[in-house]
Structure 1
């Protein structure tokens, strides 16, 4: 029997690469997205790779669609072996320039969406005493960066959430958790951030303007070649991790990401040392 994988945010970039590569590894893949009408790129990639995928509508901001998708998979297969919480949204704004609605949206997609999907599959994995939940985080979940205030806050939340779940669910119920931490990904994600930025107009001509201009000029925002990986390269790390018998708590996807976060990670590269201390303290 094939292992069953549920992947969110598969209309573009990393989600497409994840779905295809998991299928190539023999998974029964349920690729989900908010708007099924945007599935052409996914289906085209699957056809090119010679794999078949199952497509479901799932909006990580809508509990009803999440429940329906999970119940559909369980009714058909009786199991979900792997959940990859990949759906995400970027935001490049200062706190002072970010509206309350934007804050809610970024946190809701990047963090609450992870919680909703995890909560939906967890009872089934817990009862099965097995399963893997991989959250696509970011180096921005370990290191705060300019003009990514709210995005980094949401990704920091994903880190804490993943670590807390692993501290008691893994040893007691066998469900494993991991947070994958890419640097930049050459994908529509960055383009969408730029589009969002442009739709809001240029940075207001205030005290932040020269700081923001210097940020863009550095290339750290969107053009650094050593920073960015392709979706396929990141997906290779994610899929290789999913295939491991025992998951690390966290893992970076590139040399740049390792170097960038080294002061946060060098004492505990995969997060398992700290996790062991927590489990010993409260176990």
Structure 2
């Protein structure tokens, strides 16, 4: 019997490649995106890999639509074996520059949407005594970064939720994990919300953007990050925390070992220094 995987955010980047890779490895993949009219790259990549993906529309912040989709998949296939929460939204700006609406958007997409989908699939997985939930967070879920206040805040929140859930879910045969990529070449940066006015933060923000642009110029390929997601989903070993590259592992590790917070502040301060 073919396992069924539901993955969000598959219009481009690592979500697209994770969907194709999971299908290539034998899963029936329900790949969702807000606008199925933008599914041509996903379908083309699947065709090039010699596989098919089951493309369906889902705006992850529409919780009622998510409930209908999960019920539809479970009625059609009898179960959902894997959930990959991949859809995400970026925002650049420090606290004073961000509106509460922008902060809410970060929480809606990066925290509440994966929480909702996780809640929706949990009953069926628990009753069957098995299932895997992987939430793609970011190194920003472990390392707070300048001008990423709302984004990192939402990613920290979803990691805390999933880590708290993990040991309870494990008692029912479920594996709950997070994947923490570093910079991945994708449309994510182009889609990030930018502040309308830099004001007194202009020089600091300019320095940050220069540094970040350099990081994304040397970003991990989305094919590689997508394969890392598939590896984590299908791994025999269970780990709560995965990273998509050696660089991401080193970056996250620096924060997790930083018991007084000085290490992270030490290596992020230069990000907003010009020259």
Shift of 1:237: 1.2
Shift of 1:216: 2.0
Partners in 2 of 1:225 and 1:65 — Cα distance? 33
Query: Unaligned regions of 5+ residues in structure 2, if any?
Result: 259-275
Structure 1 pair 227–190 and aligned structure 2 pair: CA distance change class (3 A): same
Could you tell me which residue of structure 2 aligns to residue 87 of structure 1?
87
The answer to which of 55-64 and 91-100 deviates more is 55-64
Could you tell me which residue of structure 2 aligns to residue 254 of structure 1?
245
Superposition RMSD in Å:
1.6
Deviations 1:11-58 (A, max 9, x none): 111111011000000000000111111111111111111111111111
Could you tell me which residue of structure 2 aligns to residue 11 of structure 1?
11
Q: Helix, strand or coil: the match of 2:95?
A: coil
Could you tell me which residue of structure 2 aligns to residue 179 of structure 1?
178
Deviations 1:212-248 (A, max 9, x none): 122123x2x1332686211111111111111123320
Partners in 2 of 1:242 and 1:258 — Cα distance? 18
Work out whether 1:71 is the aligned partner of 2:71.
yes
Q: Is the 8 A contact 2:11 2:41 kept in 1?
A: yes
202, 215, 218: which one pairs with 2:208? 215
- 1:257-268 superposed matches below 5 A: 257-265=248-256
Q: Helix, strand or coil: the match of 1:190?
A: coil
Could you tell me which residue of structure 1 aligns to residue 264 of structure 2?
none
Highest RCO, 1 vs 2 (Cα 8 Å, sep ≥ 6) = 2
Query: Unaligned regions of 5+ residues in structure 1, if any?
Result: 268-283
Q: Is the 8 A contact 1:34 1:57 kept in 2?
A: yes
